[in-house]
């Protein structure tokens, strides 16, 4: 059940609340963390849908909520980290709903796609909240912005809808720089396993290579064989990215 808070909370800007929650978790500000979490729970669902009026606001909000909750929950109870049950459990309180992390990632941010199926199979029968909250268009870069608590996950950043495109490019480029290995002599490129798990989100093999060219990981005109890294599921909290200096310049301009 949501906490009963003043009406000002129900009408608050959800994007700002989600960013406050993540910043409070990052700085380990206990009282501020609890307050932000309770205010997110008490948001009015109709107001939430109205205020998240475009994909930039939806993506920024849900990335911040997901990443904040993972760090918050697992810092308090690291033993709850499990590759399946942790992500399926309805435990994230937003706008009177209890959502699972899978609901946020696969239902909302991936626009109702199954967690398995390599990014080609839709989730059947999404509920009304999911249909209202989900993005209009999938953006493959969210895979390099979500941190599930595992060692192989990308770092956590705070996302702002005003600079979201630049922020997602920045976090994607940084993650690929650290994870991709191109071996021209062998004709192979080793990529994060995310590319295999969500192959359809990236446009299949051709789409993956296009993305690798876009972010400077393989030369134009090359089509190396794809190899996939193993995924380290060891719990690793506190992996926060530095601020994107270019986005900071845009905000202050």
Task: For 10-65, write each residue's pLDDT tens digit.
Answer: 668 999 999 999 999 999 887 999 999 999 999 999 999 999 999 999 999 999 99
Residue 131: per-residue pLDDT: 98
Residue 149 banded pLDDT, cuts 50, 70, 90 = very high
H or E element that contains 146: none
User: How much is the pLDDT for 248?
Assistant: 58
Q: Among candidates 173, 144, 141, 146, which has minimal Cα distance to 246?
A: 173
| The pLDDT of residue 3 is above 60 | no
Q: Does residue 7 or residue 236 have the better pLDDT?
A: 236
Across the chain, the runs of DSSP E, i.e. the strands, are 92-94, 97-99, 181-183, 188-191, 225-228
Q: DSSP class of residue 116?
A: S
* pTM of the predicted structure, to 2 decimals: 0.93
**Which residues, other chains included, contact 157 with Cβ-Cβ below 8 Å and sequence gap of 6+?**
145, 167, 171, 240, 241, 243, 244
| Measured CA angle at 106 (ends 240, 64), to 5 deg | 30
Please tell me the predicted confidence (pLDDT) of residue 29: 80
With vertex at residue 115, the alpha carbon angle to CA 112 and CA 117, rounded to the nearest 5 degrees, is: 100
Give the model's pLDDT for residue 4: 38
Residue 73, pLDDT above cutoff 70: yes
Count other Cβ atoms within 10 Å, centred on residue 249: 11
2-22 b/e (C-beta count within 10 Å ≥ 16 → b): beeeeeebbebebbebbbbbb
Model pLDDT, residue 2: 35
Q: Is the CB of residue 81 less than 8 Å from the CB of residue 74?
A: yes
Structure tokens given for 37: 């979490």
Q: What is the pLDDT of residue 9?
A: 60
pLDDT digits (tens, 9 = 90+) for 211-226: 999 999 999 999 999 9
pLDDT higher than threshold 90 for residue 97: yes
* Residue 253 confidence (pLDDT): 53
Query: What confidence category does residue 249 fall into, taking pLDDT thresholds of 50, 70 and 90?
Result: low
Q: What is the mean pLDDT of residues 98-127?
A: 98
DSSP-assigned states of every residue in 34-91: HHHHHHHHTS-HHHHHHHS-SHHHHHHHHHHHHHHHHHHHHHH-GGG--SSHHHHS--
What is the model's pLDDT at position 7?
44
Query: Measured between alpha carbons, how far is 148 from 237 in angstroms, rounded to an integer?
Result: 9
Mean pLDDT, the chain, rounded, equals: 94
With beta carbons less than 8 A apart as the criterion, state whether 63 and 145 touch. Answer: yes
The percentage of the chain sitting over the pLDDT mark of 70, rounded to a whole number, equals 92
Res. 150: pLDDT tops 80: yes
**pLDDT at res. 5:** 40
């Amino acid at each position: 059940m949501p906490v009963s808070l003043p009406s000002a909370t129900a009408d608050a800007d959800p994007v700002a609340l989600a960013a406050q929650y993540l910043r409070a978790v990052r700085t380990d500000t206990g009282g501020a963390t609890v307050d932000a979490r309770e205010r997110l729970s008490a948001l009015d669902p109709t107001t939430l849908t109205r205020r998240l009026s475009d994909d930039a606001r939806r993506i920024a909000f849900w990335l911040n909520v997901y990443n904040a909750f993972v760090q918050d929950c697992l810092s308090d109870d690291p033993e709850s980290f499990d590759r399946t049950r942790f992500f399926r459990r309805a435990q994230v309180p937003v706008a009177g709903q209890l959502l699972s992390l899978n609901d946020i990632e696969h239902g909302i941010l991936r626009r109702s796609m199954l967690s398995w199926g390599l990014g080609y199979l839709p989730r059947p029968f999404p509920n009304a909240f999911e249909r209202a909250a989900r993005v209009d268009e999938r953006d493959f870069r969210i895979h390099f912005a979500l941190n599930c608590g595992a060692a192989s996950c990308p770092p956590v950043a705070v996302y702002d809808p005003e600079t979201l495109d630049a922020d997602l490019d920045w976090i994607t480029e940084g993650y690929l720089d650290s994870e991709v290995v191109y071996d021209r002599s062998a004709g192979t490129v080793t990529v994060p396993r995310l590319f295999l798990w969500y192959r359809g989100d990236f446009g299949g093999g051709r789409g993956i290579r296009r993305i690798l060219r876009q972010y400077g990981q393989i030369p134009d005109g090359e089509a190396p064989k794809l190899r996939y890294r193993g995924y380290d599921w060891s719990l690793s909290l506190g992996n926060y990215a530095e601020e994107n200096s270019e986005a900071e310049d845009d905000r202050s301009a």
